[in-house]
Amino acid sequence: MPAAAKSPNKVYLEHLERGELAYQFSPEAGKPVLFPRVLCPFTGSSKLEWRVSKGLGTVYATTVVHPGEGAPYNVALIDCDEGFRMMSRVEGIAPDKVRIGQRVRLRVQAKTGDEDPLPLFVPEGAV
């Protein structure tokens, strides 16, 4: 990566700061790539294109985490419509009400203090 080029993670975070979920696409593999990388995990090629997700997906798997302190929360694997899967949370409903197959849409949690913005999801149709 040339010294002047931004790191893939920096590009990803800049998109999140604008409320967008960016991912890379490997033309050689014909597959999406998430999380950001310098090389394609399928071909080893450095030819990766940036694309922006529509922010829609389907819950593939879900669980509820019960921490020692604090309220329970949901952790889910989301199959985004562009063809990649990511771990996130579904918010806006009780953690135990999230269901496999449920349609969700992106909601970016803004940067707070030293914390980077987070891609989260809410049930599709939620305000």
Q: Using one digit for the tens of pLDDT, what is the confidence trace for 65-116?
A: 999 999 999 999 999 999 999 999 999 999 999 999 999 999 999 888 889 9
Give the dihedral sign, CA 89/95/100/102.
negative
What single DSSP character describes residue 7?
P
CATH class of 8-123: mainly beta
Residue-averaged pLDDT of the chain? 93
Instruction: Give residue-wise pLDDT tens across range 13-72.
Output: 999 999 999 999 999 999 999 989 999 999 999 999 999 999 999 999 999 999 999 999
pLDDT of residue 125: 79
pTM of the model: 0.88
